[in-house]
Structure 1
Amino acid sequence: MTDLNWTACYLILVNIAAFAAFGIDKRKAVRHKYRIPEATLLGLALIGGAAGALAGMHLFHHKTRKPLFRAIPVLLAAQIVLLLFF
């Protein structure tokens, strides 16, 4: 596999993980169960899963009012720029 293929696979997997984490955390919040730490959700977005995190936030209506999570679109833009230039 080429470097581009590895990068694409990595980004797909981390975005799926971020999306799923937001969905699971929302479900746990509704059921008053043990939650996924915010640091984990933000960490997944930070390591390349910002698109999945943003999609999960909007689809599941989860963490959309938290100020720290409002930075995810900026993080996504930065990741796109990095991907285009490297």
Structure 2
Amino acid sequence: MGEYVHYYLMGFNTLGFVLMYIDKQKAIRNKWRVKENTLIFIALIGGSLGLYLGMKLFKHKTRHAKFKLGIPIIIFFQLLLIYLY
């Protein structure tokens, strides 16, 4: 993969991880939340590993089927695309 692809993936995975942390902190304080669709979108465009790590580390969104099953499925297909690329 090209150098720019690595930067792209690092950026979106970092963003996904940080958004999961922010959403967890806001949930604890009953404040505004990051929309689930935003988190899924970040996963789809390359931030799935960061989101998954954030889910596990912060114990956040781990009961929601959309995240519990959806994020690993997205990761699988992204890894498959990388392998085939």
TM (norm. structure 1) is 0.93
How far did residue 38 of structure 1 move? 0.5
Task: For residues 25-72 of structure 1, give each alpha carbon's deviation from its aligned partner in whole angstroms, at most 9, with x where no partner exists.
Answer: 000000111111111111111111110010000000000000111210
Amino acid at match of 2:83: L
Amino acid at match of 1:18: G
Cα separation, 2, equivalents of 1:74 and 1:36: 21
TM (norm. structure 2) is 0.94
The correspondence of residues 6-45 of structure 1 with structure 2, limited to 5 A, is 6-45=4-43
Cα separation, 1, equivalents of 2:13 and 2:3: 15
Show structure 1 runs of 4+ deviating over 6 A: none
Partner of 1:80: 79
Cα separation, 1, equivalents of 2:20 and 2:84: 29
Which of 61, 64, 67 is residue 66 of structure 1 equivalent to?
A: 64
Number of positions where the alignment pairs a residue of Structure 1 with one of Structure 2: 84
Unpaired stretches in structure 1, ≥5 consecutive residues? none
Root-mean-square deviation (CA), in Å?
0.9
